[in-house]
Structure 1
Amino acid sequence: MPGAAWRPIPVNHTRGGQQSVHGVVVHIMDGSYGGTDSWFRNPDAEASAHFGTSRAGALCQWVDTADRAWAQAGGNRTWLSVENEGRGGDTLTDAQLDRCAAVLAWAHTTHSVPLQIAGSPSGRGLGHHAMGGSAWGGHTSCPGPRVVAQLPEIVRRAQKLTGKPAPGKPAPYTPPTFPPGLGPNKAKPSARPLQRALKAAGYLPKSVQESDNYGPATQAAVARFHNAHPQYRAKGKPYDPAIGPHGWAHLFRLAHGR
């Protein structure tokens, strides 16, 4: 990628293993930029990423995008990866936001990755490690909720870099009021607005027919949303098919790219 320092690693990746590119996955290193570079060169690590950023704004590329980096388990074949210097609970620096936006803009130009938030492995665009749940290694704290909240800003900056759409601050967005009584196996109130939001955010396949009933497909999609955003999952429930007011609000913001 132009603008990224080429620092190829001889191990911990699969040559020619990258398939069609669905998007770019944001990670947090939970360590230093230099330390991560050294670790990816250690055969015992069995881990790597395509790109990396430092908190000061350096951008490097470890793995060619035609090759498969070992970054997010089941997502390695179809997603590019960018590791960001920092630890859990950090936010990305302004310089890191710019570098991640540059990677996304390049992926858009080179691989037709849409400039949007991808809320699940079935979506396309800008995603984050935790959204893949157990299939992506079960790293539910990577890159952390504070970085996830910055993803829309990365998309906005990538849009500015590509000139589409015209840059600007997103208009204020208020999600619809959470309807009391909405829950699994109910038909009133209608589950259709929830299903449309789940489709737009990438958690429910677009082929699923919408209905008033909050049935098994909707429940499974809500559980996938909770796996990607465990802060909205009911405490003590590893599988939560019911959406609550706070999860409802966040889901609708994701669905509208806010």
Structure 2
Amino acid sequence: MALMPGATYIGPTPNKRVDGMVEVRGLVLHIQEGNEQGSEAWFKNPASQASAHFLNPKTGALRQLVDTKDRAWAEADGNAHWVSIENEGYAGDKLTASQLENAAQLLAWLHKTYSVPLESTDDPTGKGLGWHGMGGAAWGGHTGCPGDPIKAQRAAIIARAEQILGLDQKPKVSLAHVVYAAQHDPQAAQGHTTYKGEVLLVEKALQAEGLLAAQYVDGSFGTRTVGAYARWQRSAAGGGFTGTAADGVPGKTSLKLLAARHNFTVTD
């Protein structure tokens, strides 16, 4: 069984598809529109045709109803790809401190177990920390679930998950910053730097990969760095991109692959 350590198992339920997960793209936040006792009873009732992997009470430990290798019935077309967490409360509520901690612990475990990225997503075909309403009609049309206050807490959940995993100690590189530098530094005067510290981290990584000579590791995302980054994008380790996807301007996938090999983290 794929049960999360530290969570209280409250299964089984008939409302699931055994071994039904195609992949785990990420974690979807829900709101129960009720309390734990009522939600648990409903999710165990065959007539409901509904369930969730985890229930998150306002106080106390996270509770697991469905094994993460099994498909819970929480978001219709999204069921085969997403782990679901139902938070006790009503739309408009914020997560309590206990609920936020539980959600962060779960996200950290999913990162370790399924390589779920520690980032927010509003795309039902994306990966990371999402929310029920992002799936629209295909996910049941619950566009107000879990509510704006909880959606806004995703950054805090991710930050806490990074702390749990010890990733907050790594230096950070903003994708937006290095993209801007790659687009503006080559046209600027010689030696011009934009976001020098972050560009240096990228350049040092490219140097370690044997793609950029030491003399060009200067914090300026100039033409030599653009060329080196393009070679990284084309390499198998960098994603094997071709054409305009290997133009030397960092993309999220190639930058995260570089970060994973050289001990920094990537933010939006």
Give the TM-score taking structure 1 as reference length.
0.65
Opposite residue 61 of structure 1, the aligned amino acid is Q
Question: Which runs of structure 2 are paired with 1:198-213 in the superposition (5 Å)?
Answer: none
4+ runs deviating over 6 angstroms: none
Q: Which residue of 2 aligns with 1:239?
A: none
Q: Which has the higher helix share?
A: 2
Contact 1:4/1:61 (8 A) holds in 2:
yes
Contact 1:12/1:40 (8 A) holds in 2:
yes
2:138 to 135, 138, 148: 135
Distance in 2 (CA, whole Å) between partners of 1:119 and 1:165 is 23
Q: Which residue of 2 aligns with 1:39?
A: 42
Opposite residue 131 of structure 2, the aligned amino acid is H
Q: Which residue of 2 aligns with 1:160?
A: 163
Opposite residue 145 of structure 1, the aligned amino acid is D
Opposite residue 163 of structure 1, the aligned amino acid is G
Cα drift, residue 123 of structure 1: 1.2
Q: Which residue of 1 aligns with 2:78?
A: 75
Distance in 1 (CA, whole Å) between partners of 2:161 and 2:170 is 9
Distance in 2 (CA, whole Å) between partners of 1:52 and 1:163 is 26
Question: Which runs of structure 2 are paired with 1:238-249 in the superposition (5 Å)?
Answer: none
Contact 1:24/1:125 (8 A) holds in 2:
yes
Residue 104 of structure 1 aligns to a residue whose secondary structure is helix
Q: Which moved more, 1:52-61 or 1:105-114?
A: 52-61
Distance in 1 (CA, whole Å) between partners of 2:148 and 2:13 is 33
Q: Which residue of 1 aligns with 2:101?
A: 98
Cα drift, residue 119 of structure 1: 1.6
Distance in 1 (CA, whole Å) between partners of 2:88 and 2:170 is 27
Compute the RMSD of aligned alpha carbons.
2.4
Distance in 2 (CA, whole Å) between partners of 1:148 and 1:91 is 9
Q: Which residue of 2 aligns with 1:118?
A: 121
2:21 to 18, 22, 25: 18
Q: Which residue of 2 aligns with 1:66?
A: 69
Opposite residue 47 of structure 2, the aligned amino acid is D
Cα drift, residue 122 of structure 1: 1.7
- Unaligned runs of at least 5 residues, structure 2: 177-240, 246-266
Cα drift, residue 10 of structure 1: 2.9
Residue 37 of structure 1 aligns to a residue whose secondary structure is helix
Q: Which one scores higher on RCO, CA 8 angstroms, separation ≥ 6? A: 1
- Unaligned runs of at least 5 residues, structure 1: 174-205, 211-255
Distance in 2 (CA, whole Å) between partners of 1:15 and 1:27 is 22
Q: Which residue of 2 aligns with 1:251?
A: none
Residue 26 of structure 1 aligns to a residue whose secondary structure is strand
Seq. identity, %: 47
Contact 1:156/1:167 (8 A) holds in 2:
no
Distance in 1 (CA, whole Å) between partners of 2:30 and 2:51 is 11
Contact 1:68/1:76 (8 A) holds in 2:
yes
Q: Which residue of 1 aligns with 2:32?
A: 29
- Provide Cα deviations, 1:109-153, integer angstroms capped at 9, x if missing partner: 000001111121121110000111111111001000111000110
Question: Which runs of structure 2 are paired with 1:228-239 in the superposition (5 Å)?
Answer: none
Matched, 1:7 2:13: no
User: Computing the radius of gyration over CA atoms, which structure comes out larger, 1 or 2?
Assistant: 2
Distance in 1 (CA, whole Å) between partners of 2:22 and 2:139 is 16
Residue 39 of structure 1 aligns to a residue whose secondary structure is helix
Cα drift, residue 167 of structure 1: 8.7
Residue 118 of structure 1 aligns to a residue whose secondary structure is coil
1:51 to 49, 54, 57: 54
- Provide Cα deviations, 1:81-130, integer angstroms capped at 9, x if missing partner: 00000001100001100000011000000000011111211211100001
